[in-house]
C-alpha cells in the first residue's frame, strides 16, 4: 500500500508497523521481570483483566479498618439483628396475609416487578435478598479511614457478588420461570439449553451472536455513499457524496473512538448521523480506524494524534483549502480531538471552525464506574496482559463492560434466554456492538495513565511535542452532548468542558445511554433533550442546577446540532470535488472502505 502525505512539507516518518516492531523487539527486560509479566498475563485471561492484588487491597483496607472499629462492628451487628427481626415478622405475616414489604428495591431495579414476586414464599426470598443487599451496602458505605477508591471498589464487588445469588437468577426460586415452565411443560428449558449450546459453539468458533449475520457492513449498514480519499497505516478517511445541489463551505470532520468501529455514526439508512448531516447540506468526512494487531503493540497516543486526526485534517485541508473545519469527536475520539484542538491553538493553527464533543470527556476525575478499575495495580496488570499479546482484545474489553452492568448484560440475559427460553432479538446497534475492535498495548496504557489515572489533560499537564497544552487556549465554539444513562462517560463529567474552556459552550443532554443516546434519528418516538448555550462569561451552574433550569424538548438532539453547525458556517456553495487527484489524493475504495471490514 503506497503511503501518501497529505500536507506538503511535513517530514516523512517510518511506517507505523515498522516503528512498532522495532520498539517491541528492542525492548529488553530482566528475565525475572519477564516471568512475572507472563505470570500476570496468564492470570488476567482468567480474571477478565481484573487485578487480584487490587481486589485483595480493597478488601484488606476495609476489613482491617472494620476490625479496629468495635463501635462500627456493634452498629452493623445491631443493624443485622434488626433486619433479621423485620424479615422474620414479615415472613410470618406473609404466610397468612398480604402485608407491606419492609425492604423495597433500590432505584429502577426491575428484577422483582412481576406481581408473582409479591406472593408467598417468593416475596420472602426476594425480601431476604434485598435485606442482605441493604446490609452490605451499609457495611461498605462510609467506613472511616478506608480510601475513597477502595470504598467504591468494595461496594461494587459486594453488590456484584450478591447479584450472582439473587433469587431471580435461580429457576426454583423465580416464580416467573416456574410459571413459564408449567405453561410450556418444560419446553422453555429445552429451548434455553439449545440456546446455550448454540451460543457456546458460536463463541468457541469466533462467531458473532445469533442474528448478527443478518447485518453486514456495506449491505445494510454503513450505507451512506462516499469514497476513501486518504489512507495510511492507521486510518482511512472517507469523504461522503453530497446529496444537495449546494453545501456549506466548512466541512465536518468526524473523529470516532478507536475503541469502536466508526459506523455507529452511519448505522443504517434513516438512522445515520452522517446521512443526516449530508442530507442537510454538509460536506462530511469521517475517520475509519484500522483494527490493530500484535505488530501494532507500540503505537501510542501520539501516533493516533499525528497519523490519525492531524493526517485526516491535513487531507481535508488539501481537498478544501482555505476553509475552516468543524471537528466532531465521539467518545475517546472527542478526547483526542480536544487534545489536537488545544495543541493547534497553542501553535497558532486556526483551521477549526468549531469543536463538538459527543459523550466525550476531557476531565476524568468523575469518569463513572470505569474508574473503579483504574489504579496503579490495575493498570500494571493490564499492561502485563497487553505486553504478552500486544493489544487489548475485543472480548477482554467487552467483559469489563458487561461486568459494569452485570444485571442488564449478564444475569437478566441468562434468565431471559436460558431459563425463560426467549431468544433476544437483534438490531443494527446490537450487531455493531458485536463487531468489536482491539487496542494497541502502548496506546491503551498511555491513555489509562495519562488521562484516567493522572487526569493530565484537565490539569494542563498533558504534553504534545514536549510542551504542555491547555484547553483554555481553544478559541473555537463548542457543542457538547451528554446522555442521561451513560456509564462510560457520565454526562456530569462531559459537562465539565464548561469549566475547562473560555469559549461559548452549547450543551445538550439527551436520554439514552452512551451509544443509544448518540444514535438518535429525528423520527425516534421516545427521544428528548435539554439544550442551552452558555456564554464564555456566564456564571457557572453546577450540573444539577443546569438540569433543573432547562425545559425538556421532545425529539432528537441531531436537529439543533445541525442548526448549530449551519449557524457557524458560511453561505452555501457548490460541493467540492471528491478527493484531490491533482494533489495526490485520488478517490480510492467506495465507502465504507477496507479497514472497517477487518476482524
Indicate the helix (H) or strand (E) that contains 72: helix 70-94
Same domain membership, residue 543 and residue 488: yes
Same domain membership, residue 588 and residue 514: yes
Residue-range definition of the domain harbouring residue 347: 226-365+455-597
Average pLDDT of span 120-126: 96
Average pLDDT of span 282-309: 95
Same domain membership, residue 342 and residue 238: yes
The least confident of 75-89, 328-342, 391-405 is 391-405
User: For the chain, what percentages of helix, strand and coil (3-state, to nearest 5) are there?
Assistant: 50, 10, 40
Q: Do residues 304 and 29 touch, judged by C-beta distance below 8 A?
A: no
Question: SS3 for 585?
Answer: strand
pLDDT at 594 over 60: yes
Q: What is the pLDDT of residues 234-259, one digit of tens each?
A: 999 999 999 999 999 999 999 999 98
Same domain membership, residue 565 and residue 460: yes
The x, y and z cell numbers of residue 353, run together, are 471552525
Q: Do residues 493 and 364 touch, judged by C-beta distance below 8 A?
A: yes
* Residue 70 counted as domain residue: yes
- In this prediction, residue 11 carries a pLDDT of 39
* Residue 560 counted as domain residue: yes
pLDDT at 26 over 90: no
Residue 507 is part of a domain; what is its CATH number?
Answer: 3.40.50.1820
The x, y and z cell numbers of residue 284, run together, are 462530511
Nearest to 160 by CA among 193, 138, 137, 142: 137
Q: Is 286 a catalytic residue?
A: no
Indicate the helix (H) or strand (E) that contains 343: helix 332-346
Final residue of a structural domain among 126, 158, 183: 183
Q: Do residues 107 and 121 touch, judged by C-beta distance below 8 A?
A: no
Indicate the helix (H) or strand (E) that contains 66: helix 52-67
What length does the chain have?
599
Give the pTM: 0.89
Final residue of a structural domain among 117, 150, 183: 183
Residues 6+ apart with CB under 8 A from 125: 167, 173
Same domain membership, residue 234 and residue 135: no
pLDDT at 17 over 50: no
Instruction: Give the whole-angstrom CA distance, residue 572 versus residue 589.
Output: 28
Q: Give how many domains the chain has, as a whole number.
A: 2
Same domain membership, residue 174 and residue 110: yes
pLDDT at 395 over 70: no
* Residue 431 counted as domain residue: no
* Residue 261 counted as domain residue: yes
- Going by the DSSP 8-state scheme, the letter that residue 512 receives in this structure is S
pLDDT at 159 over 80: yes
pLDDT at 9 over 60: no
* Residue 446 counted as domain residue: no
Instruction: Give the whole-angstrom CA distance, residue 222 versus residue 596.
Output: 10
Provide DSSP, 204-248.
HTT---TTGGG--BTTTBS-S-EEEEEE-SSEEEEEEPP-SSSB-
The x, y and z cell numbers of residue 25, run together, are 523487539
Tell me how many degrees the CA angle 33-35-36 measures, rounded to the nearest 5: 65
Indicate the helix (H) or strand (E) that contains 286: strand 284-289
Same domain membership, residue 349 and residue 462: yes
Nearest to 597 by CA among 265, 262, 311, 274: 262
The x, y and z cell numbers of residue 198, run together, are 448454540
The x, y and z cell numbers of residue 314, run together, are 491535513
The one catalytic residue among 177, 331, 339, 403: 331
Final residue of a structural domain among 183, 215, 234: 183
Instruction: Give the whole-angstrom CA distance, residue 498 versus residue 495.
Output: 6
pLDDT at 269 over 90: yes
Same domain membership, residue 261 and residue 128: no
- In this prediction, residue 45 carries a pLDDT of 74
Same domain membership, residue 127 and residue 67: yes
* Residue 459 counted as domain residue: yes
- In this prediction, residue 441 carries a pLDDT of 87
Same domain membership, residue 117 and residue 63: yes
* Residue 8 counted as domain residue: no
Residue whose cell numbers read 419446553: 187
* Residue 102 counted as domain residue: yes
- Going by the DSSP 8-state scheme, the letter that residue 67 receives in this structure is H
Same domain membership, residue 265 and residue 340: yes
Mean pLDDT of the chain, nearest integer? 90
Instruction: Give the whole-angstrom CA distance, residue 309 versus residue 58.
Output: 39
Same domain membership, residue 145 and residue 259: no
pLDDT band of residue 206 (cuts 50, 70, 90) is confident
Amino acid at each position: 500500500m503506497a503511503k501518501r502525505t497529505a500536507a506538503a512539507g511535513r517530514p516523512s516518518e517510518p511506517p507505523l508497523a515498522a516503528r512498532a516492531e522495532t520498539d517491541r523487539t528492542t525492548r529488553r527486560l530482566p528475565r525475572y521481570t519477564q516471568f512475572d509479566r507472563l505470570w500476570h498475563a496468564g492470570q488476567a485471561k482468567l480474571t477478565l483483566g481484573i487485578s487480584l492484588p487490587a481486589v485483595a487491597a480493597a478488601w484488606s483496607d476495609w476489613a482491617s479498618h472494620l476490625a479496629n472499629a468495635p463501635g462500627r462492628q456493634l452498629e452493623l451487628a445491631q443493624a443485622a439483628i434488626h433486619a433479621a427481626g423485620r424479615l422474620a415478622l414479615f415472613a410470618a405475616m406473609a404466610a397468612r396475609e398480604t402485608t407491606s414489604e419492609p425492604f423495597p428495591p433500590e432505584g429502577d431495579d426491575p428484577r422483582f416487578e412481576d406481581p408473582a414476586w409479591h406472593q408467598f414464599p417468593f416475596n420472602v426470598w426476594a425480601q431476604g435478598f434485598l435485606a442482605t443487599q441493604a446490609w452490605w451496602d451499609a457495611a461498605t458505605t462510609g467506613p472511616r479511614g478506608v480510601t475513597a477508591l477502595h470504598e467504591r471498589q468494595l461496594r461494587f464487588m459486594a453488590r456484584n457478588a450478591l447479584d450472582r445469588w439473587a433469587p431471580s437468577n435461580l429457576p426454583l426460586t423465580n416464580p416467573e420461570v416456574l410459571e413459564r415452565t408449567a405453561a410450556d411443560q418444560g419446553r422453555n428449558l429445552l429451548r434455553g439449553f439449545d440456546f446455550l449450546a448454540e451460543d457456546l459453539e458460536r463463541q468457541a468458533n469466533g462467531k458473532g451472536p445469533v442474528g448478527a449475520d443478518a447485518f453486514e457492513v456495506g449491505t445494510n449498514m454503513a450505507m451512506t455513499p462516499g469514497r476513501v480519499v486518504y489512507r495510511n497505516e492507521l486510518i482511512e478517511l472517507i469523504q461522503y457524496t453530497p446529496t444537495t445541489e449546494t453545501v456549506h463551505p466548512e466541512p465536518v470532520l468526524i473523529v470516532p473512538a478507536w475503541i469502536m468501529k466508526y459506523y455507529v455514526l452511519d448505522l443504517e439508512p434513516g438512522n445515520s448521523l452522517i446521512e443526516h448531516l449530508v442530507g442537510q447540506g454538509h460536506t462530511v468526512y469521517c475517520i475509519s480506524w484500522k483494527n490493530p494487531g500484535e505488530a501494532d503493540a507500540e503505537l501510542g497516543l501520539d501516533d493516533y494524534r499525528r497519523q490519525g486526526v492531524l493526517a485526516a485534517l491535513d487531507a481535508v485541508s488539501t481537498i478544501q483549502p482555505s476553509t475552516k473545519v468543524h471537528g466532531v469527536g465521539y467518545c475517546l475520539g472527542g478526547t483526542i480531538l480536544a487534545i489536537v484542538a488545544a495543541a493547534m491553538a497553542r501553535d497558532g493553527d486556526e483551521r477549526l471552525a468549531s469543536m463538538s464533543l459527543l459523550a466525550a470527556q476531557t476531565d476524568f476525575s468523575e469518569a463513572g464506574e470505569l474508574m473503579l478499575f483504574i489504579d496503579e495495580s490495575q493498570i500494571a496488570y493490564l499492561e502485563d496482559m497487553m505486553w504478552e499479546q500486544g493489544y487489548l482484545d475485543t472480548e477482554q474489553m467487552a467483559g469489563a463492560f458487561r461486568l459494569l452492568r452485570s444485571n442488564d448484560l449478564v444475569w437478566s440475559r441468562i434468565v431471559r434466554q436460558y431459563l425463560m427460553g426467549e431468544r433476544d432479538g437483534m438490531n443494527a446497534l446490537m450487531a455493531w456492538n458485536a463487531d468489536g475492535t482491539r487496542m494497541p498495548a502502548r496506546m491503551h496504557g498511555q491513555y489509562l495513565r495519562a488521562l484516567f489515572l493522572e487526569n493530565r489533560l484537565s490539569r494542563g499537564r498533558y504534553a504534545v511535542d514536549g510542551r504542555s497544552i491547555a484547553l483554555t487556549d481553544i478559541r473555537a465554539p463548542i457543542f457538547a452532548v451528554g446522555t442521561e444513562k451513560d456509564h462510560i462517560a457520565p454526562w456530569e463529567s462531559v459537562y465539565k468542558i464548561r469549566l475547562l474552556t473560555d469559549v461559548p459552550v452549547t450543551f445538550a443532554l439527551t436520554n439514552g445511554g452512551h451509544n443509544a443516546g448518540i444514535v438518535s434519528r429525528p423520527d425516534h418516538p421516545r427521544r428528548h433533550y435539554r439544550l442551552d448555550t452558555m456564554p464564555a462569561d456566564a456564571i457557572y451552574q453546577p450540573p444539577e442546577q443546569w438540569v433543573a433550569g432547562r425545559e425538556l424538548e421532545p425529539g432528537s438532539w441531531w436537529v439543533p446540532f445541525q442548526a448549530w453547525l449551519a449557524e457557524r458556517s458560511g453561505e452555501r456553495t457548490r460541493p467540492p470535488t471528491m478527493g484531490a487527484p491533482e494533489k495526490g489524493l485520488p478517490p480510492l475504495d467506495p465507502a465504507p472502505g477496507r479497514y472497517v471490514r477487518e476482524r
